[in-house]
């Protein structure tokens, strides 16, 4: 008998009023009808989405000058066997270190590593979403790179301590460690509690946008 697979949507919905990163160069989501049934006998929309809005993937260009862009990766880069690191019991503002991850799995080589905090599920749309989330120790980021992971994802806004953003020396420190090493970053995942397994098959499909520093992505877990 064929084994039944379960498909879980790990992405946020795009909608008017959705929370956007608090800088004016991160545009708000907009959609308007550029043709309607009344005027054109068909409906067509014009959509405005920032490259880092909603569930999305950061390409190296986001933090690395002249870094690779999203269209330079084959779609296979965004699909593969994933390890779920369940840290949903961790409190706000906690720093995640190598010891939180090390013993959970033996071989990280070539794997996609997904961190679960349930942060997007609990705080997306709230004022502390961008400020109080757990984040990674930079030594852990380097360790994951050394272990040969191919993609890293979070159900939170980012891998970095938000306090370091826009500071002189540590701005995007963890982003840079990953992106310099071709480990692309998936942010604002959701629904990870539905996975209920330590490993699963992950598909995160960014739009193939030429020269883009990132792209919204429809991310899917298959168990």
Binding site for Zn ion (CB under 5 A): 52, 58, 187
Structural element, H or E, at residue 8: strand 7-9
Name the minimum Å distance from CB 52 to Zn ion.
Answer: 4
| Helix orientation angle between 138-146 and 173-180, rounded to the nearest 10 degrees | 10
Name the minimum Å distance from CB 105 to Zn ion.
Answer: 25
Whichever of 77 and 104 has its CB closer to Zn ion, that residue is 77
Please give the residue whose beta carbon sits closest to Zn ion in the complex: 52
Structural element, H or E, at residue 96: strand 95-96
Name the minimum Å distance from CB 19 to Zn ion.
Answer: 13
Angle of CA points 144, 180, 151, to nearest 5°? 45
Whichever of 58 and 173 has its CB closer to Zn ion, that residue is 58
Separation in Å, CA 216 to CA 96, 185, 188, 201: 26, 12, 10, 19
Name the minimum Å distance from CB 62 to Zn ion.
Answer: 6
Cβ atoms of 69 and 211 within 8 Å: the answer is yes
Whichever of 20 and 199 has its CB closer to Zn ion, that residue is 20
CA-nearest of 188, 172, 215 to 75 is: 215
Whichever of 138 and 165 has its CB closer to Zn ion, that residue is 165
Return the structure tokens found at 207: 């739009």
Return the structure tokens found at 183: 């480990």
Name the minimum Å distance from CB 18 to Zn ion.
Answer: 15
Whichever of 52 and 176 has its CB closer to Zn ion, that residue is 52
Name the minimum Å distance from CB 85 to Zn ion.
Answer: 20
Whichever of 56 and 116 has its CB closer to Zn ion, that residue is 56
A 10 A CB-CB count for 143 gives 18
Residues in the chain: 223
């Amino acid at each position: 008998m064929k084994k039944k697979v379960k498909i879980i949507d790990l992405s946020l919905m795009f909608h008017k009023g959705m929370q956007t990163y608090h800088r004016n160069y991160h545009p708000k989501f907009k959609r308007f009808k550029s043709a309607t049934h009344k005027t054109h006998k068909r409906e067509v929309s014009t959509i405005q989405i920032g490259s880092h809005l909603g569930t999305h993937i950061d390409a190296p260009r986001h933090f690395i000058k002249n870094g690779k862009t999203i269209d330079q990766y084959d779609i296979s880069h965004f699909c593969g066997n994933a390890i779920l690191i369940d840290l949903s019991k961790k409190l706000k503002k906690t720093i995640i270190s190598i010891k939180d991850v090390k013993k959970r799995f033996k071989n990280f080589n070539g794997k996609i590593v997904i961190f679960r905090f349930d942060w997007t599920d609990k705080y997306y749309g709230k004022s502390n979403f961008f400020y109080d989330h757990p984040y990674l120790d930079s030594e852990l980021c380097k360790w994951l790179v050394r272990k040969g992971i191919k993609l890293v994802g979070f159900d939170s806004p980012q891998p970095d301590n938000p306090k370091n953003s826009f500071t002189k020396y540590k701005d995007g420190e963890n982003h840079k460690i990953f992106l310099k090493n071709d480990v692309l970053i998936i942010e604002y995942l959701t629904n990870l509690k539905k996975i209920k397994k330590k490993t699963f098959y992950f598909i995160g499909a960014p739009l193939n946008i030429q020269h883009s520093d990132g792209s919204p992505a429809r991310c899917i877990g298959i168990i």
